[in-house]
Amino acid sequence: MATTSPRNKAPAKQSWYKRNEIAITPWLFLMPAILMFTLYVVFPIFQSFQISLFKWDGLGSLNTHGKYVGLDNYEKLLTRDRSFNTSLWNNLKWLIFYLAAIPAGLCIALFLNQTVRGIRLYKSLFFFPFVISQIVVGLFFTWFYDPQYGLFNGIIGFIGFEPINVLGDPNLATYGIIAAGLWPQTAFCMILYLTGLNSVDPEQIEAARLDGAKGLKMLWFVILPQLRPATFIAFVVTVIGSLRSFDLIAIMTNGGPFGSTRVLSFYMFEKSLSEYGFKMGYGAAIAVILFLIMMVFIGYFLWKTYQDEKTTNQ
Amino acid sequence: MFPKPIEKSSRAWQLGYQALLPLAMLLWLTPLLAVALFSIRPDADFITGNYWGWPSSFEMIKNYSMVFTSAMPRYILNSFLITIPTVIGALMLSCMTGFALGVYKFRGNLLIFFMFIAGNFVPFQILMVPVRDLTLDMGLYNTKTGLVLFHIAFQTGFCTLFMRNFIKALPFELIEAARVEGIAEWRIFWYVVLPLMKPAIAALSVLIFTFIWNDYFWAIVLTQGENSQPVTAGITSFNAQYRAMYHLMSAGSIIAALPPVLMFFLMQKHFIAGLTLGAVK
């Protein structure tokens, strides 16, 4: 205050802003987004941690109607809840089989990376499933698997097999849903690889050709290393997508038959907001566990980004 | 180019490839084509068990107009009223954050950037109970506004990641030159940076449009019923209403999927740029 000129207030204030403009501007620009993001994303994460320590039906406020139970919810989940076990195993199945989208996407990308007439249209038609909502994809595949009129059984019946009720069989249903999920996910990986293939260095390929590399050898030693950024993104997005899977399960089996297709995200939803009663505390504990699993991959992504930042800023 | 361009191989290979393309595509789109075929069948075909044969008559107009006399148009309108404000809001916020994080060097820059990235990847479920509570407390439960506000906040994470990387790749000399001229920082944003961000804005708006249109989880957590639910949630009640009437259910789901599909085909270049530019350079 003492340093600014005492003549009148307005110009003094302006000059203070002017002098610190570069320091203040970014914060002014960040303010609205940080406020909203904190309110809707950052805060709720901590609140969920808190809620998971309570027994609470979601009515009234947590402090007056909730009952503090410490780590009881977690103890029950990890030791006495068989549905939780099933969900966790299914999450693991999703994680592993969903990764098939990456090689499948690469194969399609290699198949389509040509310059014949109409190839652009083919590329977009192959990408098409990614644009459709998972709900509609789920409906498509539910009808596709239908034991009575579904095309799937039409085909295997044609080859001479007995009809299979894929989504009605506790041992098969999860795989049936994962297959449905692979359809859009493969399309996504394909487009990443198509873009990646576009920017592969042609001189390196020529050089490798002169050295006699071709086919799979070329792919493995020359092409794939250059596609690493695409593979990285495909990996991160696929893993996170697999842990987030909810829509397909909700629409195709609603967790059934006999709860055999539940995953953590679905089980959490079911516990917190379904006809079986609102067990918010228990649900929050499931969400926290899912979050911690996910944090491993998020951490990996952030670490990689941080390494990139360090190298580009040097 | 890898694999080897097909023009350089023998004539037989070329013809084989040309023939394989449409076959592979048909195979790939089988689930979709099957539903499309259902949606133009008369209901009589389902009674007689003619699922995969030639339709006994083509009822495309009848089936699709039935969809339009149901609650479906209402749900589709809701979807637009949710999706468009979200796209605008998220883009406004993320242009600003992208500018702040991409142009300025200050303590905490990377930390805030990482907060946005990490937030964008968290499982929805950990946000579900608190966000539902918050929306209830604000009196916005079961309103489109409640849904839009959440979507804007959440999408800002992804959009910031994208915008910040885009702005970081712009030539910094432009901004320095403007500063030397003594132009105010907000004017640099408005007159120098924003015009250069048009491709990023186009790409992100198509992408966010698709993401939000296809959202199902938050639609069922934060809304109920015809007045506010978008089409992804509406399709389930539509199907409950026309249970076992597969020709109508198929037509309904095709219509529900249509807007993002049209968007994609009209703005394909931007869409793919959006999907890959943030990731693969």
Chain A residues near residue B135 by CB distance under 8 angstroms: none
CB neighbourhood size of B98 (10 A): 29
Sequence-ordered strand ranges (E) for A36-156: 54-55, 67-68
User: Could you say which of B34, B58, B82 is where a domain stops?
Assistant: B58
Q: What is the pLDDT of residue A12?
A: 52
Rounded to 10 deg, the angle between the B198-213 and B246-266 helix axes is 170
Q: Which residues pair with A274 in a beta bridge?
A: A277
Please state the rounded mean pLDDT for residues B164-168. 90
φ, ψ for residue A265 (rounded to 5)? -65, -35
For residues B104 and B11, state if they share a domain.
no
Write the pLDDT tens digit of every residue in A229-256. 889 889 988 998 998 889 999 999 988 8
- Answer whether B88 touches A (CB < 8 Å): no
- Answer whether B19 touches A (CB < 8 Å): no
User: Could you say which of B20, B36, B58 is where a domain stops?
Assistant: B58
**A83 Cα to chain B: minimum distance (Å):** 17
For residues B54 and B74, state if they share a domain.
no
Chain B residues near residue A30 by CB distance under 8 angstroms: 96-97, 100-101, 112
Looking at the predicted structure, is the pLDDT value of residue A95 above 50?
yes
Q: What is the pLDDT of residue A277?
A: 67
> Phi-psi category of A269—alpha, beta or left, where left has phi over 0 and alpha has psi -120 to 50?
alpha
For residues B156 and B177, state if they share a domain.
yes
Looking at the predicted structure, is the pLDDT value of residue B277 above 90?
no
Choose from B129, B149, B160, B206 for mutation: most chain A CBs within 10 A. B129
Q: What is the pLDDT of residue B140?
A: 92
- Answer whether B6 touches A (CB < 8 Å): yes
For residues B14 and B90, state if they share a domain.
no
Chain B residues near residue A149 by CB distance under 8 angstroms: 46, 49, 51, 246
Write the pLDDT tens digit of every residue in B98-157. 999 999 999 899 999 999 988 888 888 899 989 998 999 999 999 999 999 999 999 999
Give the model's confidence band at A149: pLDDT under 50 very low, under 70 low, under 90 confident, else very high: confident
- Answer whether B158 touches A (CB < 8 Å): no
Residue in chain A nearest B187 by alpha carbon: A25
- 3-class SS at A68? strand
Residue in chain A nearest B108 by alpha carbon: A27
Looking at the predicted structure, is the pLDDT value of residue A275 above 70?
no
Write the pLDDT tens digit of every residue in A192-219. 999 889 888 888 888 888 888 878 888 8
Chain B residues near residue A33 by CB distance under 8 angstroms: 93-94, 96-97, 116, 156, 160
Rounded to 10 deg, the angle between the B231-241 and A134-145 helix axes is 30
Residue in chain A nearest B165 by alpha carbon: A309
Looking at the predicted structure, is the pLDDT value of residue A6 above 50?
no
Look up residue A313 and give its two tokens: 């800023």
For residues B170 and B229, state if they share a domain.
yes
For residues B146 and B224, state if they share a domain.
yes
Instruction: Kindly determine whether residue A25 and residue B6, on different chains, have CB atoms separated by under 8 Å.
Output: no
For residues B108 and B21, state if they share a domain.
no
For residues B79 and B184, state if they share a domain.
yes
Distance CA A178, CA A193 (A): 22
Q: What is the pTM of this model?
A: 0.88
- Answer whether B38 touches A (CB < 8 Å): yes
Residues in CB range of B278: below 8 A, 6 or more apart: B161, B162, B165, B166
Asked, for residue B122, whether it belongs to a domain, the answer is yes
Of the CA atoms within 13 Å of residue B54, those in its CB half-sphere come to 2
Asked, for residue B63, whether it belongs to a domain, the answer is no
Please state the rounded mean pLDDT for residues B5-19. 85
Is this complex scored with an ipTM above 0.85?
Answer: yes
Identity of the residue in A33, A151, A222 whose CB atom sits nearest the CB atom of B96: A33
Please state the rounded mean pLDDT for residues B158-163. 90
Asked, for residue B250, whether it belongs to a domain, the answer is yes
- Answer whether B159 touches A (CB < 8 Å): no
Q: In sequence order, which ranges of A146-279 are alpha helices (DSSP H)?
A: 151-159, 173-198, 202-210, 215-218, 224-226, 228-244, 247-252, 264-272
For residues B13 and B90, state if they share a domain.
no
Asked, for residue B65, whether it belongs to a domain, the answer is no
Identity of the residue in B112, B129, B152 whose CB atom sits nearest the CB atom of A280: B129
Can you list the domains of chain A with their CATH numbers? Answer: 86-313 (1.10.3720.10)
Chain A residues near residue B181 by CB distance under 8 angstroms: none
Please state the rounded mean pLDDT for residues A96-123. 92
Domain total of chain B: 2
**CATH at B258:** 1.10.3720.10
Q: What is the pLDDT of residue A14?
A: 66
Q: What is the pLDDT of residue A101?
A: 96
For residues B245 and B145, state if they share a domain.
yes
Distance CA A58, CA B187 (A): 48
Distance CA A19, CA A312 (A): 30
Q: What is the DSSP letter of B29?
A: T
**B23 Cα to chain A: minimum distance (Å):** 11
For residues B187 and B110, state if they share a domain.
yes
Looking at the predicted structure, is the pLDDT value of residue B7 above 60?
yes
Instruction: Kindly determine whether residue A41 and residue B153, on different chains, have CB atoms separated by under 8 Å.
Output: yes
Asked, for residue B235, whether it belongs to a domain, the answer is yes
Instruction: Kindly determine whether residue B275 and residue A149, on different chains, have CB atoms separated by under 8 Å.
Output: no
For residues B37 and B163, state if they share a domain.
no
Looking at the predicted structure, is the pLDDT value of residue A97 above 50?
yes
Instruction: Kindly determine whether residue A191 and residue B272, on different chains, have CB atoms separated by under 8 Å.
Output: yes
Write the pLDDT tens digit of every residue in A45-65. 999 999 999 888 877 777 777
Write the pLDDT tens digit of every residue in B226-274. 889 999 988 888 888 887 788 888 888 888 888 998 888 888 888 877 7
Write the pLDDT tens digit of every residue in B33-82. 888 888 888 888 877 777 777 888 888 888 888 888 888 899 999 999 99
Q: What is the pLDDT of residue B278?
A: 52
Domain span at residue B36 reads: 6-58
